[in-house]
Structure 1
Amino acid sequence: MSTANSLIYPLPCKHDYGIGIVGAGGIVNYAHLPAYRKAGLNIIGICDINENAVRNSAQKWEIPFSTTDYRELLKRNDIQIIDIAIPNEGRVDIVKEAVAAGKHILIQKPFAHQIEQAEEMVRSASEHGVRLAVNQNARFAPFYRKAKEIIDSGILGELYLMTHEMRINQDEALAGTWFAKVPNFLLVDYEIHHLDLMRFWSGSTPERVYTSGTRMPGQHIQSDMTVLTTMEFASGLRASLITVDTLQSNQAFWSFTVEGTKGSLYGRISHDYTVFELDYYTKDNPGQWTRVTPPGRWFVDAFYGSMFELMNAIQENREPSISGRDNLETLRLLHSMIRSTEKKMIVSVE
């Protein structure tokens, strides 16, 4: 059972949907399952092609049913939501079979490596009348979501500049894993959080983008692990992303800024997500900075936040705010950034 008072997002009116999880890897055990247990959600079954992984996860989290065949989850009438957290390969077939079985879907970012695959999954979910949500969990990280609330309140005025910077080092930790061989790994797996945040905060998608990457000499992962991006929006708004994933000091951090015609918002997050500072200043309150400290952490509160949004969308018969259809815009932006790195030029987002 959940401890409702410890949750930073309210439980959906109906939250006993049966959940079947496809994937028993690190993100499921480190984030999905702790989040769902904290929220008291109804986890019916789990699947992974790795028999040891799925057995160990089922035992650790006391999940009553486990299997190496995802179709066994789809057959169960007590499962209404399929939570997909596996690498890109095989996702389309699972989604198409799941929605044909009447299951709603929450699928880990990145939604798909190819836009055509994402469009196919969106189309299939729509044809079968079920909800498809993409787990862009940064939108539910408490500090990022609080920033969105402050922006939407209007106290900063019209936005004209947003920045986001991340400096960490996963190069050695991920060497030898499947992540190390993913083309454009940093853009596809990490920067997709930050570029989606620019869409989330601004409520729009940029028109043009320029992205440039580089490698630290001697790094292990094959793709560029340092990436710089500039985004141009139709309104005149500009955004900048700086992402370094080969940091050689012990001062890892995330930081962001938002500049508006009436004020500024600055945020900084520690490498382990446990310490964050969120300060804003407005012309309406001159000479005084205001610090806000929203409760909760990215891991694990953001992960039940994504699931709650899907559950609420099902009950309210609406598209989730993190719908697959909305995420097509995030993927178009991502692929435009990749195209920019390849062409070494500014490109239109299309």
Structure 2
Amino acid sequence: MSNENEGYGLSAEKASKEINAPKVDYLPRKPKTYHPKIGIIGCGGISEYHLKNYRILGFDVVAIADITLSKAKARRDEFYPEAEIYDDYKKILERKEIEVVDITPHPEDRVPIIKEALRSKKHVLSQKPFVLDLQVGKELVKIAKENGVKLAVNQNGRWAPHFGYMLNAIRSGIIGRPISIDFSLQWDQTWIQGNPSFENIHHMVLFDFAIHWFDIANAFMGGEKADSVYASAVRYKEQKYQPPALASSIINYGESQVRMAFNAHTTLGEEDVTVIVGTKGTLRSRGPGLNDQPVMELFTEEGHVKIPLEGCWFENGFQGTMAELLCAIEEDREPSHSAENNLKSLELCFAALKSADENKIMIPGEVTMA
């Protein structure tokens, strides 16, 4: 028997040597000397993570506003006892000494607040999803530029330890150009059962949740324009909630592909895996959940290494978004999570939603509304 096919189907034993971990700066970076006064507008559930992490980094939050004053008072008393509280956000915008505002309400309520804040010469961190209409987003970017202020989006996944490491490893050229990126997530989101805020979102997975993955895919690909998006969403009869629990998406680029697979109804055996194969190496992160990714694996021609990661998404992420905005202001540059950059992420997401609804391939940028 010929041995010409010997080894067929078997991977060559490459990268078997253990190497030292390359230096990759992935933790949030604080500004050196810029310590502005910050105002928070909106005290919904997510504001807890904002304020908790701002306090950890020593950021100077001096004002908190919510239409329900008792909510502002509760957040103030827990995190920033010296801050002033208001039931009218315009009181924050009138304070000249406040240079940065964090605006957290839902998109419909948030857009007019962002406009007023930008015209009041305030730098803005907007909650995600940034907008529901790309044209509205472009208008906000234009207003920010006209008023000489920065507008960033709270896409905090970019500073999750595993995503942050991968993003900066790509930027450093460690694995070369990304060829394929695979996201595979199985998690339990059955806690939304009976909660209309989530049950009424038809694309709860592809929109409310996966916006982080469309954004980090955009970041991994360096903002490269995608050629097409195909997505699907499936509901099955045993589900405990209304929105489709199963979703997937394929994003095609000129010479690369991003693939996403989601199951938001995994009550047993949750897992979250990300794999990036580049022209010079592979990065892999695996853990029981998005907030628990303790080790990064790196494979190159020189060998392989397992790299322990510091922190977690709900700490690093919320620290990173505000810290990067402040660093960008200090260094007079655009923040990496600028609204203009985030519009490219929304192009991917909006195309995926339309694709799932119509079972058609969509071109990013041609679908302008969620």
Q: Same fold (TM over 0.5)?
A: yes
Match of 2:210, SS state, is: helix
- Call closer, same or farther: CA 1:220–1:98 in 2, change over 3 Å: farther
Correspondence list, 1:131-210, <5 A: 131-173=150-192, 175-203=194-222, 204-210=224-230
Letter in structure 1 aligned against 2:227: E
CA distance in structure 2 between the partners assigned to 1:8 and 1:232 by the alignment: 30
Amino acid at match of 1:39: L
Aligned mates of 2:172, 2:27 — CA distance in 1: 20
Equivalent-residue separation in structure 1 for 2:94 and 2:283 (angstroms): 49
CA distances 1:172-199 after superposition (whole Å, capped 9, x unpaired): 3353242322342222221011111111
CA distance in 1, matches of 2:98, 2:193: 34
Residue of 15, 27, 31 corresponding to 2:46? 27
What does residue 128 of structure 1 align with?
Answer: 147
Residue 337 of structure 2 is aligned to residue 322 of structure 1: yes
Given the superposition, is the C-alpha separation of residues 162 and 8 from structure 1 closer, same or farther in structure 2, using an over 3 Å criterion?
A: closer
Structure of greater Rg: 2
Aligned-pair distance for 1:124?
1.4
Kindly provide the amino acid, as one letter, of the partner of residue 230 in structure 2.
Y
- The amino acid that maps onto 1:237 is S
Among 233, 239, 245, the residue aligned to 1:213? 233
- Report what 2:17 is aligned to: none
Cα gap change, 1:50 to 1:170, in 2 (>3 Å)? farther
SS of 2:108's equivalent in the other structure is coil
Q: CA deviation at 1:313?
A: 1.3
Q: Assess, with a 3 A threshold, how the Cα gap between structure 1 residues 54 and 220 changes in structure 2: closer, same or farther.
A: farther
Superposition TM-score, scaled by structure 2 size? 0.87
Report what 2:321 is aligned to.
306
CA RMSD of aligned residues (A): 1.8
Letter in 2 for 1:336: A
Match of 2:28 among 5, 9, 14: 9
- List runs of 5+ in structure 1 lacking aligned partners: 1-6
Give the conservation status (yes or no) of the 8 Å contact 1:227–1:244: yes
**Which residue does the alignment assign to 1:42?**
60
| Contact 1:231/1:240 (<8 A) preserved | yes
Amino acid at match of 1:21: I
Check whether the contact 1:15–1:41 (CA below 8 A) recurs between aligned residues.
Answer: no
In structure 1, how many angstroms separate the alpha carbons of the residues matched to 2:80 and 2:279? Answer: 52
> Which has the larger displacement, 328-337 or 13-22?
13-22
Q: Secondary structure in 1 aligned to 2:125?
A: strand
The CA deviation string for residues 111-141 of structure 1, in whole angstroms up to 9 with x for no partner, is 0122122122112111211100011111111
Q: 1:61-115: per-residue Cα shift (whole Å, max 9, x none)?
A: 1342111111011111221111011111221110111111111000111101221
Secondary structure at the residue paired with 1:66? strand
Specify whether residues 212 and 106 from structure 1 end up closer, same or farther in structure 2 by C-alpha distance, changes over 3 A only. same
> Could you list the runs of 5+ residues in structure 2 that have no partner in the other structure?
1-25, 366-370
Q: Is contact 1:99-1:125 (8 Å) kept?
A: yes
Q: How far off its partner does 1:261 sit?
A: 3.0
Aligned residue for 2:101? 82
What is the 5 A alignment of 1:42-81?
A: 42-63=60-81, 64-81=83-100
Count, aligned residues: 338
- Aligned equivalent of 2:121: 102
Identity of aligned residues (%): 30
Which moves more between the two structures, 50-59 or 98-107? 50-59
Equivalent residue in structure 1 for 2:278, among 232, 246, 260: 260
Number of the residue aligned with 2:353: 338
CA contact (8 A) 1:18 1:80 kept: yes
Residues 274/238 of structure 1: CA separation in 2 closer, same or farther (3 Å cut): closer
Please give the alpha-carbon distance, in whole angstroms, between the structure 1 residues aligned to 2:310 and 2:298.
17
- Which sits farther off after the overlay, 153-162 or 52-61? 153-162
- Looking at structure 2, the residues matched to 219 and 54 of structure 1 have their Cα atoms a distance apart, in angstroms, of 36
Counterpart-to-counterpart distance in 1, 2:196 and 2:288: 25
* TM-score normalised by the chain length of structure 1: 0.91
How has the CA–CA distance of structure 1 residues 205 and 268 changed in structure 2, closer, same or farther, with 3 Å as cutoff? farther
Residue in 2 that maps onto 1:4:
none
Corresponding residue of 1:348? 363
Partner of 1:290: 305
Is the 1:270–1:276 contact (alpha carbons within 8 Å) kept by the matching residues of 2? no
| Match of residue 269 from structure 1 | 287
Structure 1 residue ranges (4+ consecutive) displaced by more than 4 angstroms after TM superposition? none
